[in-house]
Amino acid sequence: MGVDAHPGMLEHLGRRIPGITVHQTLIEKLRLRRRFDLVIGPSSILGHDTNLAAAVRHVRAGGRVGMELMNPRWLESTSHRGVRIKGSVMEVDYRLPDGSVVVQVVENWSPGPSPEAARRRVKRFGLELLWMGGRPGTSLATSPTYYVLAGSGAGTRIPLSSR
């Protein structure tokens, strides 16, 4: 199952995985009344507490939440080619296979949660930190993104309605 607010992303997903069920909505508004063994949030989508609450709402007891988060420690370390922060605006260059560059502009940007805060953060949502790491061949300090896998306790019951 795929969830995205942008119809183009869902169309792309449908081409890659024919027959997949998709929902066009913001994750924080998602109310499927269904739970899953695994909920994955790529591209820092679960960096906001309201989005993480929505993911947790949809994971079954004993299930897991996986997330990819932008590493604020990496951003603070130095300037990075293709990433620009101008006040509350972040611009990221993406080089496409044809060599052209598309610039993603994120307005009202603020740094997401740091790796050091991950254990406390997932615990606030009734999860346990199972694993955390950076990209292969990097440390947490030098990885542009970091990955978190958190588990919901087998006896944990998380309400479907809201958190």
6-53 pLDDT, tens digit each: 999 999 999 999 999 999 999 999 999 999 999 999 989 999 999 999
* pLDDT digits 0-9 by tens, 123-158: 999 999 999 999 999 988 889 999 999 999 754 444
d(CA 75, CA 93): 15
Write the DSSP assignment of 100-130 as a string of letters.
-EEEEEETT------GGGHHHHHHHTTEEEE
- Those residues whose C-beta lies under 8 Å from the C-beta of residue 20, and which sit 6 or more positions away, are 1, 2, 13, 14
Give the ranges where the chain is alpha helix by DSSP (H): 7-16, 49-57, 72-77, 118-124
Say if CB 14 and CB 35 are below 8 A apart: no
Burial per residue of 2-41, b for 16 or more beta-carbon CB atoms within 10 angstroms, e otherwise: ebbeeeeebeebeeeeeeeebeeeebbeeeeeeeeeebeb
Cα atoms in the 13 Å half-sphere on the side-chain side of 14: 13
pTM for the structure as a whole: 0.83
Give the model confidence (pLDDT) of 87-99 as tens digits.
899 999 999 999 9
**Among candidates 43, 76, 77, which has minimal Cα distance to 146?**
43
Element spanning 97, H or E: none
Predicted local distance difference test score (pLDDT) of residue 155 = 46
Count of helices and strands (H, E) across the chain: 4, 9
Residue 159 has pLDDT above 80, yes or no: no
Is the confidence at residue 72, as pLDDT, over 80?
yes
Answer whether 134's CB lies under 8 Å from 118's CB. no
**What does the pLDDT read at residue 24?**
97
SS3 34: coil
